[in-house]
Amino acid sequence: MLVSAKEMLDKALAGHYAVPQFNINNLEWTKSILLACEEVKSPVILGVSEGAGKYMCGFETVTAMVKAMDKSLGITVPVALHLDHGSYDGCYSCIKAGFTSIMFDGSHFAIEENIEKTKELVAAAHKAGLSIEAEVGAIGGEEDGVIGMGECADPEECKKIADLGVDFLAAGIGNIHGIYPENWKGLSFETLAEIKKAVGDKMPLVLHGGTGIPDDQIKKAISLGVAKINVNTELQLVFAKATREYIEAGEDKKGKGFDPRKLLKPGAEAIVEECKKKIALFGCGGKA
């Protein structure tokens, strides 16, 4: 059954581990992630960006696919279907389409407008039984055309947004979407500690840009109150690598190796393995 992300993240924060948000792009992605999480009994948040939602024929198609797959695969772990970096309109579309969680990314607005829109969406999401994530301080890198500067959030602004009743908060601490540049300075744990002090012990914090952050920094972030870590690019990279190796080995030319069920299999299996690695690192295996 699809659930809101609130309970799983409150539990993660109290238990000092993090729940993964794995972003989905299609049926294979969804299936691999669900099977991996079921195998190691981890709760999971399926992230859908607006671009990925459009690619999958709209949010209603996504909800129908995820709900049906959850049932037909016999998934028993808690699964939240979550809008990633949602616009104001996108949030309303996902509430209507049956998502169980949304993120409103108002980080590009002036703080007053971010507060005003977040407040309204908190009420709308909670009324419909969804959890809601908000963002302060843009995340760096590029995702679906949204380009951030990798800034560190202002703890005072974090408190203002947290006090609106959001269920979990994304706050920039030097993290970047996609592959980290060679000269990246690492996460700012100073900022993270200040944010935690400002928002209090009960607010699960979200770390975006989970791809490529060194393991020791991931663990330290979890110890400082991060309870949700988003991973997207890394699954794309392992899928592409496994698919390339299959084709470069000429496997698609042997027998019926061009059959999509065979062609996409190595990539799909690579996603399962990568998810299990992240779950072990985040400490959420067996927590479902």
Q: Report the alpha-carbon distance of residue 92 to residue 71 in Å, rounded.
A: 25
Q: How many CB atoms lie within 10 A of CB 109?
A: 14
User: Is residue 231 part of the contact set for ligand 13P (CB under 6 A)?
Assistant: yes
- Contact by Cβ (8 Å): 56, 26: yes
49, two tokens: 């960006």
- Residue 31 or 236: the one with the smaller Cβ distance to ligand 13P is 236
Q: Which of 99, 211, 238, 288 binds ligand 13P (CB under 6 A)?
A: 211
Q: Select the span of 150-158, 231-239, 247-255, 277-285 touching ligand 13P (CB under 6 A).
A: 231-239
Cα 280 to its chain centre, rounded Å, is 16
> What residue type is 115 in one-letter code?
I
User: Is residue 233 part of the contact set for ligand 13P (CB under 6 A)?
Assistant: yes
210, two tokens: 């989970």
Q: How far is CA 242 from CA 39, 108, 264, 265, 270, in A?
A: 21, 36, 9, 9, 7
CB of 232 to ligand 13P, least distance (A): 3
- Contact by Cβ (8 Å): 151, 137: yes
- Contact by Cβ (8 Å): 172, 151: yes
- Residue 70 or 234: the one with the smaller Cβ distance to ligand 13P is 234
Q: Select the span of 71-79, 86-94, 153-161, 206-214 touching ligand 13P (CB under 6 A).
A: 206-214
- Report DSSP letters for 214-263, one per residue: -HHHHHHHHHTTEEEEEE-HHHHHHHHHHHHHHHHTTGGGSTTTTSHHHH
- Residue 47 or 283: the one with the smaller Cβ distance to ligand 13P is 47
Consult the annotation and say whether 232 binds a ligand. yes
User: Is residue 130 part of the contact set for ligand 13P (CB under 6 A)?
Assistant: no
Query: How buried is 184 (Cβ within 10 angstroms: 0-12 exposed, 13-18 middle, 19+ buried)?
Result: middle
Q: Which of 160, 177, 228, 287 binds ligand 13P (CB under 6 A)?
A: 177
**What is the footprint of ligand 13P within residues 46-65 (CB under 6 A)?**
47
User: Is residue 93 part of the contact set for ligand 13P (CB under 6 A)?
Assistant: no
CB of 6 to ligand 13P, least distance (A): 18
39, two tokens: 């195998």
Q: Which of 53, 106, 204, 210 binds ligand 13P (CB under 6 A)?
A: 210
User: Is residue 191 part of the contact set for ligand 13P (CB under 6 A)?
Assistant: no
Q: Report the alpha-carbon distance of residue 266 to residue 274 in Å, rounded.
A: 12
Catalytic residue among 84, 89, 144, 167: 84
Task: Report helix, strand or coil for 8.
Answer: helix
Is 252 part of the annotated catalytic residue set?
Answer: no
Q: Which parts are annotated binding residues?
A: 85, 105, 135, 177-178, 208-211, 230-233
Catalytic residue positions?
84
Q: Which parts are annotated binding residues for Zn(2+)?
A: 85, 105, 135, 177, 208
Q: Give the footprint of ligand 13P on this chain (CB under 6 A).
A: 23, 47, 84-85, 177-178, 208-211, 230-234
